[in-house]
A and B are shown apart, each in its own frame.
Chain A
Amino acid sequence: MNAQLVNEISIFVLAVFLGFEVISKVPTILHTPLMSGSNAIHGVILVGAMVIMSEATGPLQIGVAFVAVILATINMVGGYVVTDRMLEMFKSRNPRGGARS
Protein backbone atom coordinates (compact mmCIF):
# COMPACT_ATOMS: atom_id res chain seq x y z
CA MET A 1 0.00 0.00 0.00
CA ASN A 2 1.63 3.23 -1.06
CA ALA A 3 1.76 6.52 0.82
CA GLN A 4 -0.73 8.26 -1.45
CA LEU A 5 -3.36 5.60 -0.89
CA VAL A 6 -2.82 5.76 2.88
CA ASN A 7 -3.33 9.53 2.72
CA GLU A 8 -6.48 9.14 0.64
CA ILE A 9 -7.97 6.60 3.02
CA SER A 10 -7.22 8.88 5.98
CA ILE A 11 -8.90 11.81 4.24
CA PHE A 12 -11.90 9.61 3.41
CA VAL A 13 -12.39 8.31 6.96
CA LEU A 14 -12.04 11.76 8.50
CA ALA A 15 -14.49 13.20 5.95
CA VAL A 16 -17.08 10.55 6.85
CA PHE A 17 -17.06 11.66 10.49
CA LEU A 18 -16.98 15.30 9.50
CA GLY A 19 -19.99 14.79 7.22
CA PHE A 20 -22.01 13.37 10.08
CA GLU A 21 -20.92 16.04 12.54
CA VAL A 22 -21.04 19.15 10.39
CA ILE A 23 -24.80 19.20 10.01
CA SER A 24 -26.23 19.10 13.47
CA LYS A 25 -29.91 19.42 14.14
CA VAL A 26 -31.37 20.87 10.98
CA PRO A 27 -34.83 22.49 11.27
CA THR A 28 -37.35 20.93 8.86
CA ILE A 29 -37.66 24.24 7.07
CA LEU A 30 -34.07 23.84 5.83
CA HIS A 31 -34.25 20.20 4.75
CA THR A 32 -34.97 21.09 1.12
CA PRO A 33 -32.29 23.79 0.77
CA LEU A 34 -29.74 21.61 2.57
CA MET A 35 -30.41 18.72 0.22
CA SER A 36 -30.11 21.04 -2.74
CA GLY A 37 -26.95 22.67 -1.36
CA SER A 38 -25.19 19.37 -0.74
CA ASN A 39 -26.31 18.31 -4.21
CA ALA A 40 -24.40 21.30 -5.55
CA ILE A 41 -21.31 20.36 -3.51
CA HIS A 42 -20.99 16.99 -5.24
CA GLY A 43 -20.95 18.96 -8.48
CA VAL A 44 -17.21 19.06 -7.72
CA ILE A 45 -17.20 15.91 -9.89
CA LEU A 46 -16.50 18.49 -12.59
CA VAL A 47 -12.89 18.39 -11.37
CA GLY A 48 -12.80 14.64 -12.04
CA ALA A 49 -14.43 15.10 -15.43
CA MET A 50 -11.82 17.71 -16.40
CA VAL A 51 -8.98 15.43 -15.32
CA ILE A 52 -10.20 12.52 -17.45
CA MET A 53 -10.93 14.85 -20.35
CA SER A 54 -7.27 15.85 -20.41
CA GLU A 55 -6.15 12.22 -20.17
CA ALA A 56 -8.62 10.67 -22.61
CA THR A 57 -7.35 9.27 -25.90
CA GLY A 58 -9.34 8.10 -28.87
CA PRO A 59 -12.86 9.12 -29.92
CA LEU A 60 -14.71 6.85 -27.46
CA GLN A 61 -12.89 8.05 -24.34
CA ILE A 62 -12.95 11.68 -25.45
CA GLY A 63 -16.64 11.46 -26.31
CA VAL A 64 -17.57 9.94 -22.95
CA ALA A 65 -15.39 12.46 -21.11
CA PHE A 66 -16.99 15.31 -23.06
CA VAL A 67 -20.45 14.19 -21.93
CA ALA A 68 -19.16 13.82 -18.36
CA VAL A 69 -17.92 17.44 -18.35
CA ILE A 70 -21.29 18.70 -19.61
CA LEU A 71 -23.26 16.72 -17.02
CA ALA A 72 -20.94 17.72 -14.19
CA THR A 73 -21.16 21.40 -15.16
CA ILE A 74 -24.97 21.24 -15.15
CA ASN A 75 -24.86 19.65 -11.68
CA MET A 76 -22.46 22.24 -10.28
CA VAL A 77 -23.85 25.44 -11.81
CA GLY A 78 -27.52 24.47 -11.58
CA GLY A 79 -27.10 23.19 -8.04
CA TYR A 80 -25.69 26.39 -6.60
CA VAL A 81 -28.04 28.67 -8.53
CA VAL A 82 -31.18 26.79 -7.54
CA THR A 83 -30.12 26.63 -3.89
CA ASP A 84 -29.46 30.34 -3.86
CA ARG A 85 -32.88 31.00 -5.38
CA MET A 86 -34.52 28.98 -2.65
CA LEU A 87 -32.58 30.61 0.14
CA GLU A 88 -33.07 34.10 -1.29
CA MET A 89 -36.65 33.83 -0.12
CA PHE A 90 -35.67 33.41 3.48
CA LYS A 91 -33.85 36.74 3.53
CA SER A 92 -34.89 39.68 5.67
CA ARG A 93 -37.95 38.04 7.02
CA ASN A 94 -36.33 37.39 10.34
CA PRO A 95 -36.25 40.90 11.85
CA ARG A 96 -33.38 39.96 14.15
CA GLY A 97 -31.27 38.79 11.24
CA GLY A 98 -29.84 41.98 9.82
CA ALA A 99 -28.86 44.03 12.84
CA ARG A 100 -26.31 41.80 14.45
CA SER A 101 -23.18 40.09 13.07
Chain B
Amino acid sequence: MHLAPYIVLLYLLAAVLFIVGLHQLSSPKHARSGNLVAALGALIAVATTIALLHHSTLDLVLMVVAIIIGAPVGAVAARAVKMTAMPQMVASFNGVGGGAAALVALVEFLRVPAHSSPPLVLSISVVFAVVIGAISFAGSAIAYTKLQELMRGTPITYPGQQPVNGAVAVAIVVLGVLVVLGTLSSLGLWLLLLLALILGVAFVLPIGGADMPVVISLLNAFTGLAVAGDGFVVGNPVLIVGGTLVGASGTFLTKMMSDAMGRSLGNLLFGAFGKIQVSEVAGPGGAKSVRSGSAEDIGTLLAYSQRVIIVPGYGLAVAQAQHVARELADTLEKRGVTVDYAIHPVAGRMPGHMNVLLAEANVPYEQLKDMDEVNDAFKNADVALVVGANDVVNPAARNSPGSPIYGMPILNADEARNIVFMKRSMRPGFAGIDNELLYDPKTVMLFGDAKDSLTKLVAAVKAA
Protein backbone atom coordinates (compact mmCIF):
# COMPACT_ATOMS: atom_id res chain seq x y z
CA MET B 1 0.00 0.00 0.00
CA HIS B 2 1.37 3.40 -0.90
CA LEU B 3 1.12 5.88 1.95
CA ALA B 4 0.94 9.66 1.59
CA PRO B 5 3.80 11.54 3.31
CA TYR B 6 1.58 13.11 5.99
CA ILE B 7 0.25 9.67 6.89
CA VAL B 8 3.78 8.34 7.27
CA LEU B 9 4.68 11.29 9.49
CA LEU B 10 1.64 10.76 11.72
CA TYR B 11 2.54 7.09 12.01
CA LEU B 12 6.07 8.15 12.92
CA LEU B 13 4.65 10.32 15.68
CA ALA B 14 2.61 7.38 16.98
CA ALA B 15 5.71 5.16 16.89
CA VAL B 16 7.73 7.76 18.83
CA LEU B 17 4.98 7.89 21.47
CA PHE B 18 5.12 4.09 21.77
CA ILE B 19 8.87 4.23 22.31
CA VAL B 20 8.67 7.02 24.90
CA GLY B 21 5.76 5.29 26.64
CA LEU B 22 7.53 1.94 26.80
CA HIS B 23 10.65 3.60 28.18
CA GLN B 24 8.69 5.38 30.89
CA LEU B 25 6.86 2.18 31.80
CA SER B 26 10.14 0.73 33.01
CA SER B 27 10.68 3.41 35.67
CA PRO B 28 8.47 3.54 38.78
CA LYS B 29 8.15 7.29 38.74
CA HIS B 30 6.91 7.70 35.19
CA ALA B 31 5.18 4.39 34.59
CA ARG B 32 1.63 5.69 34.67
CA SER B 33 2.27 8.61 32.33
CA GLY B 34 4.18 6.20 30.09
CA ASN B 35 1.06 4.12 29.67
CA LEU B 36 -0.98 7.21 28.80
CA VAL B 37 1.65 8.37 26.30
CA ALA B 38 1.48 4.98 24.58
CA ALA B 39 -2.33 5.15 24.60
CA LEU B 40 -2.14 8.55 22.88
CA GLY B 41 0.14 6.96 20.27
CA ALA B 42 -2.46 4.25 19.68
CA LEU B 43 -5.21 6.85 19.31
CA ILE B 44 -3.19 8.79 16.74
CA ALA B 45 -2.41 5.59 14.84
CA VAL B 46 -6.10 4.62 14.68
CA ALA B 47 -7.29 8.12 13.70
CA THR B 48 -4.65 8.29 10.97
CA THR B 49 -5.78 4.94 9.63
CA ILE B 50 -9.38 6.12 9.27
CA ALA B 51 -8.12 8.92 7.01
CA LEU B 52 -6.10 6.45 4.98
CA LEU B 53 -8.79 3.98 4.07
CA HIS B 54 -10.76 4.08 0.85
CA HIS B 55 -13.69 2.36 2.35
CA SER B 56 -17.18 1.86 1.21
CA THR B 57 -20.02 2.87 3.52
CA LEU B 58 -20.67 -0.77 4.39
CA ASP B 59 -17.07 -1.32 5.49
CA LEU B 60 -17.12 1.82 7.58
CA VAL B 61 -20.38 0.88 9.29
CA LEU B 62 -19.13 -2.65 10.03
CA MET B 63 -15.84 -1.26 11.32
CA VAL B 64 -17.57 1.13 13.67
CA VAL B 65 -19.95 -1.61 14.83
CA ALA B 66 -16.99 -3.92 15.54
CA ILE B 67 -15.20 -1.21 17.52
CA ILE B 68 -18.39 -0.38 19.41
CA ILE B 69 -18.68 -4.06 20.35
CA GLY B 70 -15.01 -4.47 21.26
CA ALA B 71 -14.24 -1.28 23.18
CA PRO B 72 -16.78 -1.69 26.01
CA VAL B 73 -15.93 -5.40 26.34
CA GLY B 74 -12.27 -4.50 26.88
CA ALA B 75 -12.93 -1.49 29.09
CA VAL B 76 -15.54 -3.15 31.30
CA ALA B 77 -13.49 -6.32 31.74
CA ALA B 78 -10.43 -4.23 32.62
CA ARG B 79 -12.42 -2.14 35.11
CA ALA B 80 -14.27 -5.02 36.72
CA VAL B 81 -11.43 -7.50 37.11
CA LYS B 82 -10.26 -8.12 40.65
CA MET B 83 -6.65 -7.25 41.32
CA THR B 84 -6.01 -10.91 42.16
CA ALA B 85 -7.18 -11.98 38.71
CA MET B 86 -4.85 -9.59 36.89
CA PRO B 87 -2.59 -12.29 35.38
CA GLN B 88 -5.42 -14.05 33.59
CA MET B 89 -6.82 -10.71 32.42
CA VAL B 90 -3.51 -9.82 30.77
CA ALA B 91 -3.38 -13.33 29.30
CA SER B 92 -6.78 -12.92 27.67
CA PHE B 93 -6.04 -9.45 26.26
CA ASN B 94 -2.82 -10.85 24.86
CA GLY B 95 -4.63 -13.84 23.41
CA VAL B 96 -7.23 -11.80 21.53
CA GLY B 97 -4.42 -9.62 20.16
CA GLY B 98 -2.65 -12.72 18.87
CA GLY B 99 -5.89 -13.98 17.38
CA ALA B 100 -6.47 -10.65 15.61
CA ALA B 101 -2.92 -10.75 14.23
CA ALA B 102 -3.47 -14.23 12.80
CA LEU B 103 -6.81 -13.25 11.24
CA VAL B 104 -5.40 -10.10 9.61
CA ALA B 105 -2.75 -12.16 7.84
CA LEU B 106 -5.31 -14.78 6.90
CA VAL B 107 -7.65 -12.29 5.20
CA GLU B 108 -4.78 -10.67 3.32
CA PHE B 109 -3.81 -14.10 1.95
CA LEU B 110 -7.40 -14.94 0.99
CA ARG B 111 -7.47 -11.74 -1.07
CA VAL B 112 -4.76 -13.03 -3.41
CA PRO B 113 -6.63 -14.08 -6.55
CA ALA B 114 -6.60 -17.80 -7.32
CA HIS B 115 -4.00 -19.05 -9.83
CA SER B 116 -1.73 -16.10 -9.18
CA SER B 117 1.32 -16.44 -7.01
CA PRO B 118 1.65 -13.84 -4.27
CA PRO B 119 5.01 -12.10 -3.77
CA LEU B 120 7.43 -14.11 -1.65
CA VAL B 121 7.64 -11.49 1.12
CA LEU B 122 3.87 -11.50 1.45
CA SER B 123 3.58 -15.26 1.81
CA ILE B 124 6.48 -15.50 4.24
CA SER B 125 5.07 -12.80 6.52
CA VAL B 126 1.54 -14.20 6.23
CA VAL B 127 2.68 -17.67 7.29
CA PHE B 128 4.76 -16.19 10.12
CA ALA B 129 1.93 -14.00 11.48
CA VAL B 130 -0.71 -16.75 11.21
CA VAL B 131 1.44 -19.33 13.01
CA ILE B 132 2.83 -17.10 15.77
CA GLY B 133 -0.47 -15.29 16.30
CA ALA B 134 -2.41 -18.56 16.58
CA ILE B 135 0.12 -20.08 19.02
CA SER B 136 -0.22 -16.96 21.15
CA PHE B 137 -4.02 -17.10 21.02
CA ALA B 138 -4.31 -20.77 21.98
CA GLY B 139 -1.47 -20.65 24.51
CA SER B 140 -2.99 -17.62 26.24
CA ALA B 141 -6.35 -19.38 26.38
CA ILE B 142 -4.79 -22.32 28.22
CA ALA B 143 -2.86 -19.97 30.51
CA TYR B 144 -6.17 -18.23 31.29
CA THR B 145 -7.96 -21.53 32.00
CA LYS B 146 -5.19 -22.65 34.32
CA LEU B 147 -4.97 -19.38 36.24
CA GLN B 148 -8.75 -19.08 36.52
CA GLU B 149 -8.63 -22.64 37.84
CA LEU B 150 -11.10 -23.89 35.25
CA MET B 151 -8.48 -26.55 34.75
CA ARG B 152 -5.85 -28.11 36.95
CA GLY B 153 -2.98 -25.61 37.50
CA THR B 154 -0.40 -28.35 37.75
CA PRO B 155 1.48 -29.50 34.67
CA ILE B 156 -0.41 -31.90 32.45
CA THR B 157 1.95 -34.44 31.00
CA TYR B 158 1.54 -37.61 29.02
CA PRO B 159 4.02 -40.07 27.54
CA GLY B 160 5.80 -38.84 24.45
CA GLN B 161 4.60 -35.31 25.00
CA GLN B 162 7.70 -33.47 23.88
CA PRO B 163 8.29 -35.68 20.79
CA VAL B 164 4.64 -35.19 19.76
CA ASN B 165 4.94 -31.43 20.23
CA GLY B 166 8.16 -31.53 18.26
CA ALA B 167 6.43 -33.42 15.45
CA VAL B 168 3.64 -30.82 15.31
CA ALA B 169 6.28 -28.07 15.15
CA VAL B 170 8.05 -29.85 12.28
CA ALA B 171 4.74 -30.31 10.46
CA ILE B 172 4.09 -26.57 10.83
CA VAL B 173 7.49 -25.74 9.34
CA VAL B 174 7.02 -28.13 6.38
CA LEU B 175 3.50 -26.92 5.70
CA GLY B 176 4.65 -23.31 6.06
CA VAL B 177 7.36 -23.81 3.45
CA LEU B 178 4.87 -25.43 1.07
CA VAL B 179 2.47 -22.51 1.46
CA VAL B 180 5.28 -20.01 0.88
CA LEU B 181 6.40 -21.88 -2.24
CA GLY B 182 2.84 -21.70 -3.52
CA THR B 183 2.40 -25.48 -3.70
CA LEU B 184 -0.67 -25.26 -1.53
CA SER B 185 -3.60 -22.93 -1.84
CA SER B 186 -5.37 -21.14 0.99
CA LEU B 187 -6.49 -24.55 2.22
CA GLY B 188 -2.90 -25.09 3.35
CA LEU B 189 -3.04 -21.89 5.33
CA TRP B 190 -6.23 -22.95 7.13
CA LEU B 191 -4.52 -26.21 8.01
CA LEU B 192 -1.51 -24.28 9.23
CA LEU B 193 -3.78 -22.18 11.44
CA LEU B 194 -5.27 -25.34 12.94
CA LEU B 195 -1.87 -26.92 13.63
CA ALA B 196 -0.58 -23.71 15.23
CA LEU B 197 -3.63 -23.63 17.54
CA ILE B 198 -2.91 -27.24 18.54
CA LEU B 199 0.74 -26.44 19.20
CA GLY B 200 -0.24 -23.42 21.33
CA VAL B 201 -2.41 -25.65 23.53
CA ALA B 202 0.10 -28.51 23.69
CA PHE B 203 2.97 -26.19 24.49
CA VAL B 204 1.35 -24.59 27.55
CA LEU B 205 -0.35 -27.73 28.99
CA PRO B 206 2.81 -29.14 30.62
CA ILE B 207 3.71 -25.83 32.27
CA GLY B 208 2.71 -25.37 35.90
CA GLY B 209 0.52 -22.53 37.11
CA ALA B 210 3.35 -20.97 39.09
CA ASP B 211 5.32 -20.42 35.90
CA MET B 212 2.40 -19.01 33.95
CA PRO B 213 3.47 -15.35 34.33
CA VAL B 214 6.66 -16.05 32.42
CA VAL B 215 4.69 -17.91 29.76
CA ILE B 216 2.27 -14.99 29.40
CA SER B 217 5.23 -12.64 29.02
CA LEU B 218 6.68 -14.89 26.31
CA LEU B 219 3.34 -15.11 24.49
CA ASN B 220 3.11 -11.33 24.77
CA ALA B 221 6.41 -11.09 22.88
CA PHE B 222 5.01 -13.61 20.36
CA THR B 223 1.94 -11.47 19.70
CA GLY B 224 4.25 -8.49 19.22
CA LEU B 225 6.20 -10.38 16.55
CA ALA B 226 3.00 -11.53 14.84
CA VAL B 227 1.85 -7.89 14.72
CA ALA B 228 5.19 -6.90 13.22
CA GLY B 229 4.71 -9.66 10.63
CA ASP B 230 1.32 -8.14 9.79
CA GLY B 231 3.13 -4.83 9.32
CA PHE B 232 4.95 -6.44 6.39
CA VAL B 233 1.75 -8.10 5.20
CA VAL B 234 -0.26 -4.90 4.86
CA GLY B 235 2.77 -2.62 4.38
CA ASN B 236 2.20 -0.51 7.46
CA PRO B 237 5.15 1.01 9.36
CA VAL B 238 3.34 1.63 12.66
CA LEU B 239 2.51 -2.07 12.95
CA ILE B 240 6.15 -2.96 12.28
CA VAL B 241 7.45 -0.57 14.93
CA GLY B 242 4.79 -1.27 17.56
CA GLY B 243 4.95 -5.04 17.11
CA THR B 244 8.72 -5.27 16.98
CA LEU B 245 9.15 -3.07 20.07
CA VAL B 246 6.91 -5.42 22.05
CA GLY B 247 8.55 -8.49 20.54
CA ALA B 248 12.05 -7.37 21.53
CA SER B 249 11.30 -5.79 24.90
CA GLY B 250 8.94 -8.66 25.75
CA THR B 251 11.70 -11.19 25.12
CA PHE B 252 13.99 -9.20 27.38
CA LEU B 253 11.31 -8.95 30.07
CA THR B 254 10.67 -12.69 29.86
CA LYS B 255 14.35 -13.29 30.52
CA MET B 256 14.33 -10.89 33.49
CA MET B 257 11.31 -12.70 34.94
CA SER B 258 12.82 -16.15 34.67
CA ASP B 259 16.04 -14.78 36.18
CA ALA B 260 14.01 -13.46 39.12
CA MET B 261 12.76 -17.01 39.64
CA GLY B 262 16.30 -18.35 39.39
CA ARG B 263 15.51 -20.63 36.48
CA SER B 264 16.48 -20.84 32.89
CA LEU B 265 13.78 -20.24 30.32
CA GLY B 266 14.38 -23.63 28.70
CA ASN B 267 13.96 -25.44 31.99
CA LEU B 268 10.81 -23.50 32.67
CA LEU B 269 9.19 -24.16 29.31
CA PHE B 270 10.15 -27.77 28.82
CA GLY B 271 10.86 -29.01 32.34
CA ALA B 272 7.23 -29.73 33.30
CA PHE B 273 8.05 -27.83 36.46
CA GLY B 274 5.87 -28.23 39.50
CA LYS B 275 4.62 -31.66 38.57
CA ILE B 276 3.28 -33.21 41.75
CA GLN B 277 5.82 -35.64 42.97
CA VAL B 278 6.10 -37.79 46.03
CA SER B 279 8.23 -35.60 48.20
CA GLU B 280 11.40 -37.22 49.43
CA VAL B 281 10.83 -35.59 52.82
CA ALA B 282 7.47 -37.19 53.29
CA GLY B 283 8.49 -40.75 52.64
CA PRO B 284 6.00 -43.57 52.24
CA GLY B 285 3.24 -43.29 54.79
CA GLY B 286 5.30 -40.90 56.88
CA ALA B 287 2.58 -38.75 58.33
CA LYS B 288 4.57 -36.01 60.00
CA SER B 289 3.13 -34.01 62.80
CA VAL B 290 2.52 -30.31 62.67
CA ARG B 291 1.98 -28.04 65.63
CA SER B 292 -1.12 -25.93 65.45
CA GLY B 293 -1.78 -23.00 67.74
CA SER B 294 -4.68 -20.84 68.81
CA ALA B 295 -5.08 -17.25 67.67
CA GLU B 296 -4.74 -16.12 71.32
CA ASP B 297 -1.35 -17.78 71.78
CA ILE B 298 -0.03 -16.47 68.51
CA GLY B 299 -1.43 -13.00 69.22
CA THR B 300 0.49 -12.93 72.49
CA LEU B 301 3.63 -14.13 70.77
CA LEU B 302 3.33 -11.31 68.23
CA ALA B 303 2.48 -8.66 70.81
CA TYR B 304 5.64 -9.33 72.82
CA SER B 305 7.97 -9.51 69.83
CA GLN B 306 10.53 -6.91 68.84
CA ARG B 307 10.49 -7.59 65.20
CA VAL B 308 7.91 -9.27 62.99
CA ILE B 309 8.26 -9.95 59.28
CA ILE B 310 5.09 -10.66 57.34
CA VAL B 311 5.48 -12.89 54.30
CA PRO B 312 2.36 -12.37 52.19
CA GLY B 313 1.38 -14.81 49.48
CA TYR B 314 -1.41 -15.39 47.04
CA GLY B 315 -3.61 -16.86 49.80
CA LEU B 316 -3.69 -13.44 51.42
CA ALA B 317 -4.90 -11.90 48.20
CA VAL B 318 -7.54 -14.55 47.57
CA ALA B 319 -8.98 -14.01 51.03
CA GLN B 320 -8.96 -10.24 50.34
CA ALA B 321 -7.02 -9.96 53.59
CA GLN B 322 -4.64 -7.15 52.60
CA HIS B 323 -6.53 -4.59 54.68
CA VAL B 324 -6.69 -6.76 57.80
CA ALA B 325 -3.00 -7.55 57.40
CA ARG B 326 -2.31 -3.83 57.44
CA GLU B 327 -4.52 -3.43 60.49
CA LEU B 328 -2.52 -6.11 62.29
CA ALA B 329 0.72 -4.42 61.31
CA ASP B 330 -0.57 -1.05 62.53
CA THR B 331 -1.72 -2.53 65.84
CA LEU B 332 1.68 -4.14 66.34
CA GLU B 333 3.54 -0.96 65.45
CA LYS B 334 1.52 0.95 68.02
CA ARG B 335 2.93 -1.44 70.61
CA GLY B 336 6.43 -0.68 69.39
CA VAL B 337 6.94 -3.81 67.29
CA THR B 338 8.88 -3.30 64.07
CA VAL B 339 6.91 -4.75 61.18
CA ASP B 340 8.08 -5.32 57.62
CA TYR B 341 6.63 -7.12 54.66
CA ALA B 342 8.98 -9.46 52.84
CA ILE B 343 8.05 -9.48 49.18
CA HIS B 344 9.29 -12.34 47.07
CA PRO B 345 9.76 -11.32 43.42
CA VAL B 346 7.12 -13.80 42.31
CA ALA B 347 4.79 -13.51 45.32
CA GLY B 348 1.23 -13.61 44.12
CA ARG B 349 0.97 -14.97 40.64
CA MET B 350 2.99 -12.52 38.66
CA PRO B 351 6.23 -10.73 39.36
CA GLY B 352 5.37 -7.53 41.20
CA HIS B 353 1.81 -8.71 41.79
CA MET B 354 2.04 -8.57 45.59
CA ASN B 355 3.31 -4.99 45.51
CA VAL B 356 0.20 -3.99 43.60
CA LEU B 357 -2.09 -5.83 46.00
CA LEU B 358 -0.52 -4.29 49.12
CA ALA B 359 -0.43 -0.87 47.55
CA GLU B 360 -4.17 -1.28 47.07
CA ALA B 361 -4.46 -1.69 50.85
CA ASN B 362 -2.39 1.47 51.41
CA VAL B 363 0.51 -0.35 53.02
CA PRO B 364 3.31 2.23 53.26
CA TYR B 365 5.89 1.77 50.54
CA GLU B 366 8.78 1.79 53.04
CA GLN B 367 7.51 -1.36 54.75
CA LEU B 368 7.65 -3.40 51.55
CA LYS B 369 11.06 -5.02 51.47
CA ASP B 370 12.56 -6.82 48.50
CA MET B 371 13.98 -10.26 49.01
CA ASP B 372 17.63 -9.13 48.93
CA GLU B 373 16.88 -6.35 51.35
CA VAL B 374 15.07 -8.46 53.91
CA ASN B 375 16.70 -11.88 53.78
CA ASP B 376 19.45 -11.07 56.29
CA ALA B 377 16.88 -9.63 58.68
CA PHE B 378 15.05 -12.92 59.25
CA LYS B 379 17.66 -14.25 61.69
CA ASN B 380 17.00 -11.24 63.92
CA ALA B 381 13.23 -11.53 63.60
CA ASP B 382 11.17 -12.94 66.44
CA VAL B 383 8.36 -14.04 64.19
CA ALA B 384 8.05 -14.70 60.50
CA LEU B 385 4.30 -14.54 59.83
CA VAL B 386 3.63 -16.42 56.62
CA VAL B 387 0.18 -15.51 55.33
CA GLY B 388 -1.02 -17.65 52.47
CA ALA B 389 2.44 -18.15 51.02
CA ASN B 390 4.15 -21.48 50.63
CA ASP B 391 6.58 -22.14 47.80
CA VAL B 392 8.48 -18.88 48.30
CA VAL B 393 9.59 -19.98 51.79
CA ASN B 394 10.15 -23.66 50.99
CA PRO B 395 13.68 -24.59 52.10
CA ALA B 396 13.64 -27.42 49.55
CA ALA B 397 14.71 -24.76 47.05
CA ARG B 398 17.96 -24.50 48.98
CA ASN B 399 18.47 -28.01 50.37
CA SER B 400 17.13 -30.73 48.14
CA PRO B 401 18.64 -30.88 44.67
CA GLY B 402 15.92 -33.32 43.62
CA SER B 403 13.13 -30.82 44.15
CA PRO B 404 11.65 -29.10 41.12
CA ILE B 405 12.04 -25.73 42.77
CA TYR B 406 15.69 -26.37 43.66
CA GLY B 407 17.67 -23.24 42.90
CA MET B 408 14.79 -20.80 43.14
CA PRO B 409 15.73 -17.93 45.44
CA ILE B 410 13.54 -18.04 48.54
CA LEU B 411 12.82 -15.91 51.59
CA ASN B 412 14.77 -17.16 54.62
CA ALA B 413 11.71 -17.40 56.83
CA ASP B 414 13.16 -20.58 58.35
CA GLU B 415 15.87 -18.48 60.03
CA ALA B 416 13.40 -16.58 62.17
CA ARG B 417 13.06 -17.58 65.84
CA ASN B 418 9.42 -18.50 65.36
CA ILE B 419 7.49 -19.20 62.22
CA VAL B 420 3.74 -18.80 62.08
CA PHE B 421 2.07 -20.32 59.04
CA MET B 422 -1.42 -19.17 58.26
CA LYS B 423 -2.92 -21.63 55.83
CA ARG B 424 -6.30 -22.94 54.87
CA SER B 425 -5.19 -26.54 54.97
CA MET B 426 -2.14 -28.72 54.56
CA ARG B 427 -2.59 -28.61 50.82
CA PRO B 428 0.69 -27.96 49.00
CA GLY B 429 1.29 -24.62 47.29
CA PHE B 430 0.65 -23.66 43.70
CA ALA B 431 3.76 -25.49 42.53
CA GLY B 432 2.34 -28.66 44.12
CA ILE B 433 5.36 -29.41 46.31
CA ASP B 434 5.36 -30.40 49.96
CA ASN B 435 6.99 -27.90 52.31
CA GLU B 436 9.21 -29.27 55.07
CA LEU B 437 9.09 -25.94 56.88
CA LEU B 438 5.55 -26.82 57.97
CA TYR B 439 6.99 -29.63 60.09
CA ASP B 440 9.78 -27.56 61.61
CA PRO B 441 9.65 -27.57 65.45
CA LYS B 442 9.82 -23.74 65.35
CA THR B 443 6.66 -23.60 63.25
CA VAL B 444 3.14 -23.03 64.53
CA MET B 445 0.20 -23.45 62.20
CA LEU B 446 -2.91 -21.31 62.32
CA PHE B 447 -5.47 -22.96 60.10
CA GLY B 448 -8.34 -21.13 58.49
CA ASP B 449 -9.23 -18.38 56.06
CA ALA B 450 -6.48 -15.74 56.10
CA LYS B 451 -8.93 -12.91 56.68
CA ASP B 452 -10.69 -14.56 59.63
CA SER B 453 -7.42 -15.62 61.20
CA LEU B 454 -5.89 -12.16 60.85
CA THR B 455 -8.99 -10.56 62.36
CA LYS B 456 -8.70 -12.91 65.33
CA LEU B 457 -5.02 -12.06 65.64
CA VAL B 458 -5.76 -8.33 65.70
CA ALA B 459 -8.18 -8.90 68.59
CA ALA B 460 -5.69 -11.16 70.37
CA VAL B 461 -2.88 -8.62 70.05
CA LYS B 462 -5.13 -5.87 71.38
CA ALA B 463 -6.09 -8.06 74.34
CA ALA B 464 -2.53 -9.06 75.16
Contacts and interface: CB of A to CB of B under 8 A. Distances in A.
Contacts of B233: 48
Contact of B59 (A18, A29, A35, A53): A53
Nearest to A62: B62
Which secondary structure characterizes the binding site on chain B?
Answer: helix
B247 A85 contact: no
A52 B238 CA distance: 15
Q: Is the interface of A mostly helix, strand, loop or mixed?
A: helix
B53 A65 contact: no
A12 B121 CA distance: 14
Given A45-B101, A49-B100, A71-B99, A82 B90 contact: yes
Interface residues of B, number: 116
Contact of B45 (A27, A47, A66, A74): A47
B93 A78 contact: yes
B352 to A, nearest CB: 4
A35 B250 contact: yes
A52 B281 CA distance: 59
Interface string A18-45: 1110111111111111111111111111
B54 interface: yes
B96 interface: yes
B74 A74 contact: yes
Contacts, number: 375
B62 to A, nearest CB: 6
B459 interface: no
B6 to A, nearest CB: 16
B432 interface: no
Contacts of A68: 99-100, 103-104, 107
Interface string B5-19: 000000000100011
A23 B239 contact: no
Contacts of A51: 1, 49, 52-53, 104, 234, 236
A1 to B, nearest CB: 8
Contact of A23 (B227, B253, B359): B253
B70 A22 contact: no
B246 interface: yes
A89 B28 CA distance: 11
Interface centre among B29, B96, B345, B370, by most chain A C-beta atoms within 10 angstroms, is: B96
Contact of B227 (A22, A42, A83, A84): A42
Interface of B: 1-2, 14, 18-19, 21-23, 25-29, 31-32, 34-36, 38-39, 41-42, 45-46, 49-50, 52-56, 59-60, 62-63, 65-67, 69-71, 73-75, 77-79, 81, 83, 86-87, 89-90, 93-94, 96-97, 99-101, 103-104, 106-108, 110-111, 121, 213, 216-217, 220, 223-224, 227-228, 230-253, 256-257, 260, 345, 350-353, 355-356, 359-360, 362, 364-365, 370
